[in-house]
Structure 1
């Protein structure tokens, strides 16, 4: 009898650990889709020549700068997104926390002074995000599928990655567009 109880307990623990891994890694998006998180679709184009991004002065926090993601420097464009630039400490701290929602092709590009390991949290967020870390050369190094903290939970989970830039978009955007670690982000003119 004790052996059977031990097996049940071990099975339950394994199931809980497996469920936590699926939830925390974002694998559930692949399994069940994005559901309520989907706000629309992003147009994915098959261009082999770079698009000319509209130059935007560094420091602006308004939409209008386009970021393109490619499989390689000269590869096809997987997706484009209109971004606001967050290139000061204050803008990076506030981020999208004062935004009620993003359109399907909108996001924010965080610009750090140098490539390093950075951590992002879902402080005061109204919607879940894909948090994409981008190295100084434009290579995507890490993608997190960040969910909102449970109501009343003041603990902020840290989403860490290495890069000089961080692109935040609606959760599930990378899955819908096929964007993966190793793909290249074409940075807008004027972004250092």
Structure 2
């Protein structure tokens, strides 16, 4: 089984953000909300609350990330176009982008997406809540400085998404399929818990179409 090797980087991990906004339990200064047992919580689909050790300043702690793979999707006719296409910067203006490849534990390619990197407090706070829609093979990668429990919510989301949690080595620990909120809903009640250091948000159904499951691996570079 090919495992992702580690690559040391310096990341600006100041706070946590989701595709929507901070949980209503968070204070204006970034103090994380807590659940009933006092643990910190993070919102889904674009917003996450900061963990206790995160601060609004740049972190100098080296961070290891899964390495990006260079394999090819096994989806059939779209494989070549998926691999050769250059990411469109207009999809996520102002964001750095990375290619995220999804593989089985044995290294078989399941697909790839071009992901906007949400690695600062503000970017994680905004998440996908300001996005009306995404092209098929695009997503957003939320980057945190450690592995923790990070429930996400569908606050102010305009479309359904798949929410993929992965640990510090990129191994997928949880996959959720979150529908968009109803006409009279704001998405705050749609909570999707998981544990990980990375959270990849994709168009709803992307993981199902490609057979992505817990134990598969995200490969990328930051």
**TM-score of the aligned structures, taking structure 2 as reference length:** 0.57
The aligned counterpart of 1:89 is: 121
Instruction: Spell out, residue by residue over 1:156-178, the C-alpha distance to the aligned partner (whole angstroms, 9 max, x if none).
Output: 32111000000000000001111
Give yes or no for the alignment of 1:100 onto 2:129. Answer: no
The aligned counterpart of 2:209 is: 176
For the residue of structure 2 that corresponds to 1:176, the secondary structure is helix
* Cα distance between partner residues in 2 of 1:88 and 1:156: 25
For the residue of structure 2 that corresponds to 1:127, the secondary structure is coil
Deviation for aligned residue 1:151: 1.7
Give yes or no for the alignment of 1:153 onto 2:194. Answer: no
Corresponding residue pairs, total: 136
* Cα distance between partner residues in 2 of 1:93 and 1:71: 31
1:110-121 map, 5 Å? 110-121=142-153
Highest Rg: 1 or 2?
1
For the residue of structure 2 that corresponds to 1:167, the secondary structure is strand
Give yes or no for the alignment of 1:167 onto 2:200. Answer: yes
Give yes or no for the alignment of 1:45 onto 2:52. Answer: no
Q: Unpaired runs of 5+ in structure 1?
A: 1-42, 55-59
For the residue of structure 1 that corresponds to 2:177, the secondary structure is strand
Which shows bigger deviation, 150-159 or 111-120? 150-159
* Cα distance between partner residues in 1 of 2:95 and 2:212: 24
For the residue of structure 1 that corresponds to 2:159, the secondary structure is coil
CA contact (8 A) 2:98 2:220 kept: no
* Cα root mean square deviation, aligned: 2.4
**TM-score of the aligned structures, taking structure 1 as reference length:** 0.65
* Cα distance between partner residues in 2 of 1:174 and 1:180: 8
CA contact (8 A) 2:124 2:142 kept: yes
Give yes or no for the alignment of 1:137 onto 2:202. Answer: no
* Cα distance between partner residues in 2 of 1:45 and 1:91: 32
* Cα distance between partner residues in 1 of 2:185 and 2:208: 27
CA contact (8 A) 2:161 2:179 kept: yes
Instruction: Spell out, residue by residue over 1:112-162, the C-alpha distance to the aligned partner (whole angstroms, 9 max, x if none).
Output: 111000011111111100000010011000000001222222443211100
For the residue of structure 1 that corresponds to 2:123, the secondary structure is helix
The aligned counterpart of 2:112 is: 80
Q: Whose helix proportion is higher, 1 or 2?
A: 1
